[in-house]
Chains A and B, each alone.
Chain A
Amino acid sequence: MSTIDDDSLAEAPTPSFDALDLQRTRGSVMGRLFGEVSTPVEVGGYEIVGLAGSGAMGRVYVAEDPRLGRKVALKLIRPEPGRPRTEAMRRRRLGLEARALARLSHPNIVEVLDVGEHDEQVYVVMELVEGQDLRAWLQARARTLDEVLDVFIQAAAGLCGAHAQGVVHRDFKLDNVRVGLDGRVRLVDFGLARSSERRVPTEEDVASGAAPQNTGIVGTPLYMAPELAQGQPADTFSDQYAFAVALHVAVHRRFPRAAPTESSGQDALVVPRWLSKIIERGLQQEPGARFPSMDAMRRALLRAGRGSRLRVVSVGAVAALIVTGAVLVGAPGDPEVDCAGPAALTGTWDDDRRAAVTEALDREAWSSGAAETPARVLEGLDRYASEWSRVHRDNCEATHVRAVQSPVLLDSRNACLVDRRRHLAALVDQLEAFEPAQRTRVRAMVMSLPALARCSDIDLLSSVESPPPDPALQPELDVLADVLARSGAMHSAGRFKAVAELLAAHLERARAIASVHPTLAARLIARAARMEQELARYAEALPLYEEAFFLAQRAGEATLATRCAAGAMRLHEFLGSSGSADAWHGHARAMVESAGSDSDAAMELHWAVAWLSSRRGDLPGAIEGFRSALTILEGHGETHGHRPDQRARILDDLADTQTVAGDYDEAFANASAAYEIFNSTLGPQHPDAGISRANLAHLEARRGNYEKSNEHLRFLIDLWSRELGPEHDQVVSVRNGLALNLGELGKHREAEAMLVELVEIAERNSPEDAVGLALLLDNVAVMRLKLGRFEDAEPMSRRALSLQRDSLGDEHRETGRTHTHLATILQRQGKLDEATEHAERALAITLASVGPGHVLTAQARKSRALIWAEQGRIDQARAEMGVAIEVVREALGAEHELVGKLQAELDAMVR
């Protein structure tokens, strides 16, 4: 194979781009990828003297203020990676921060002298504090408890001062406390923390008991109050939590809940009981259980500290406090699930939260069809809560009262209950923030709660995780479990994009805990995959499914693994790689073999493979597959906690396949069953119930029940016009169906008027959708044909044809159909030559695209036959019509009304 020589290529007109723009982009990309910032000479009029340090948010320089002739600290804040940095956003942030910072004036807060912008980066100029940060200060030498307390009481005063001025620090930690050479403590970096910078602590971080150093990204979740992890904004309580963490680190030399290690024990202090209690209170999971304010905490430290100092002094040996060996402090764990019953749901689903949800739902003006929605939602939540309490009481008593259950099982069941409570809490959060856009999904949201039955079933419980080997990881696991629960609630609310973003932000953290908790990681990643798929980002979804599969497999979660394998299989098939789809089919089968032929995994597999068969044209195989999935599902009953709508989804898929296979009766029965389930469980307003109803309407029309079909369609037109807007394409689509039904009922005039209106809507809103517009135009033409308005029909039909030729090409079946219609329209006007042209074309297209046995082909033949009849070629016409009738009889059955109509036309020719 010869190659092109370089000379000729040199002549290829490769464009030259603006060198300056290229340089700018290069600088920006390099900076964002590698954090490269060349040291500037001058920033905002300050002369840079040297680099003082480099941290997560940027670099800190020592600079000279020429105006005042003194040295200052200048922090150049790195732009946030991966975020759109519009001018407006940047300025807004800068403005907010500058205002907040300028407001602060306190002896224990570093003074901010100036805030500005340099080369698209924000800079903050502060007084230069000679000294070191608190972490370095602690490491410099062993410190006495008094010294530590003194620094922390000053730091607390700084926080109090800020809180009093309405500013929250948001990122309190050892590194942000400067201890001056004069002993004065000053807090830095107020309000600069960014949520995106939190990262999973590494094992070293936990082991060393120190915040990570210059890892490129800072802010460690070890300082993060649990409510922040749940997405709530930072406030004085989260500052208090972070302060308590820092204090814990300072005295114990390790993070709360981190196991003591040899190295961490070395500098740890003997922690008096009163101090442990103060720290413990600041570390409470619930903000309400902490000190009411930072000032209260500061005063507690001051008061108790003073008392202890007196005692210490009375012993006369301050140095005695510097001893080795760590003291274990009872770590505040998750609130235990105890036998107390309803109290365990306090804060999750109690009177207050019930009132809040009621209020949120009552704000909405429910349409008459959905008037019962709020009551149903509250009822569903009450039922879930009381069932939860029942299982929980039973669990407790089985171990403690009846002593029929091992403590291990108690723990497993408790873990299951804690998980369910998490989901309930997340859902209630979503409902409290209920928005009108979610009204059609609100009933389904309650349905999305995971079944409680599983918490009672010993066999199904085996997959529940045991607590992590390292208790220090528990907070991180809790954060991720919360994310999982929250994403479930948001998913059910239809907030796909938000879920995808939430999960994307936590994927790395999920991966980081995969070795200790593969199930949780797999669930998070699998859900991320599902969301990407939901958002049609298939190429992103695929690797996530694959990743989740291997994790689930490792965790022994057969059902989840099968579901992931099935997801990967579908996407591979969808994206055109059948070979890979088959390989993933194999993976899924292997999982099912280990799980058993009547397992949930088997059900998932049957369902997915049925889909595959249907797609590959093996309709009997597909129908068989859907039926097998249904059989397993129905055999499991309630215990597996399957949601009823899962059955409805399979039934709907089955009905679709049967429709394609032409088995309309079976399809109708299954679509009806699916619709009934959706209707009664999700409510008639839910999008899935709507789609199911639309399918049903289509099948009713197929069966000739046009009135019944119209009832469904009118309901949907009403619902969707309200929910989606009267010109939404789904509304246009169902109104088109209604118009066609009206046509079948002989109401051609009404149908024609409606279709003309739809054409106008389509032209106005989606002129780019040539295919959809052509369909509507063709329908108008057909109605006019039936009304005998041949001349009005002709331009519509021609326009449809031209649109289709441009968009679909002249070989497409749809184009063929329009040719058929146009041929008849022309024939009726006596334009026989041109009519013949279109009829011939129609037949050629349909024969090639759908084959000789299709109704479309038969109709093309019919149009040709009518032309021939007109031309007096009666024998040819009769023969052609005979073929058309035969085809229709074969395709739709001898009883179909079209057969009768064609027969009548044939009879007319004979006479």
Chain B
Amino acid sequence: MSTDAELLAAWRHGDRAAGNLLVERYFVSVYRFFRNKVDGELDDLVQATFLRCSQAKEAIVERGNFRAYLFAVARNVLTDHYRSRHRGHEALDLSRQSVAELGATPTAVLAQRQEQRLLLEALRSIPLDEQVLLELFYWERMRGRELGAVLGVPEGTVRTRLRSARQSLEAALHRLARSPAQLQSTLDGLERWSEQIRDYMAADLS
């Protein structure tokens, strides 16, 4: 199987089949990345992400792994998206503003279970940077260095941010839960998440 870097290089040199393969490989991840953050325009953003990757200077990608680069690009595309829609006087600050505050309401997310809906809603109500971090951690199973590469921060900072992102999420869940039972069941799920965070932190310290 070709590596990401090989496929990317081939795509840049005009090999569409290679490009196709590479996009297929990450399509669901990128789709998932945008799904819970924007309403409409999803196709454009997903396309723009892959397109930018295919046009990037070679050196940028060769330095790191492709997936980290891909999500860094996706994050930029998302930032641009919000920036282009931003109307306020204050500068857009995605470390403070959440998807909910930014006025996007991705409604078409199909979540079978109520807890999932609650969780998605809570994720949308914490600062976008934190949302990105948690989703990459849990859904894409990214860890320290790779997350750092996506966010452009050192590995140590990732740990600090994960901790505070989780606190934000828990607070949001408390705020949004419609019933104690619902909260409990969501928190149970979250508990599993947080165990992972703890494991991860402990593992890193040892």
Contacts and interface: CB of A to CB of B under 8 A. Distances in A.
Interface of A: 1-4, 8-9, 11-18, 21-22, 25-26, 28-30, 32-36, 81-82, 84, 536-537, 539-540, 543, 729, 766, 768-769, 771-772
7 contacts: A9-B141, A11-B189, A12-B193, A13-B116, A15-B139, A82-B47, A771-B90
Contacts of B116: 13, 15
Interface residues of B, number: 52
Contacts of A8: 192, 195-196
Given A22-B28, A25-B42, A84-B44, A30 B23 contact: yes
Contacts of A84: 41, 44
Interface string B27-59: 110011001100001111011101100000100
B47 A29 contact: yes
B20 interface: yes
B192 A11 contact: yes
Given A33-B47, A769-B90, A17 B20 contact: no
A33, A35, A540, A768: most-surrounded residue (chain B CB, <10 A) = A33
Nearest to A547: B57
A2 B47 contact: no
A729 B108 contact: no
Contact of B90 (A14, A36, A539, A768): A768
A360 B47 CA distance: 42
A3 B32 CA distance: 23
A729 B31 CA distance: 38
B171 interface: no
A766 B88 contact: yes
B16 interface: yes
A15 B111 contact: yes
Contact of B200 (A4, A11, A81): A4
Contact of B204 (A1, A33, A537, A729): A1
A33 B23 contact: yes
B76 A29 contact: no
Contacts of B111: 15-16
Contact of A33 (B36, B51, B120, B199): B51
Nearest to B96: A807
A33 B89 contact: no
Interface in B10-34: 16, 19-20, 23, 27-28, 31-32
Given A2-B199, A12-B196, 10 more contacts: A1-B203, A9-B196, A13-B189, A17-B110, A33-B23, A35-B16, A84-B41, A84-B44, A540-B80, A766-B89
Contacts of A25: 31, 42-43, 46
B24 to A, nearest CB: 8
Nearest to A536: B83
B119 interface: yes
B43 A18 contact: no
A14 B196 contact: no
B199 A26 contact: no
A540 B50 CA distance: 16
B112 interface: yes
Interface in B110-149: 110-112, 115-116, 119-120, 138-139, 141, 143
A766 B139 CA distance: 36
Contacts of B44: 82, 84
A875 to B, nearest CB: 46
Contacts of B90: 766, 768-769, 771-772
B31 A16 contact: no
A219 B138 CA distance: 47
Most chain A CB inside 10 Å of its own CB: which residue of B28, B31, B43: B43
B89 A769 contact: yes
Contacts of A9: 141, 196
Nearest to B190: A13
B23 to A, nearest CB: 6
A571 to B, nearest CB: 14
Nearest to B32: A17
A227 to B, nearest CB: 31
A374 to B, nearest CB: 33
A19 B13 CA distance: 32
Contacts of B110: 16-18, 21
B200 to A, nearest CB: 7
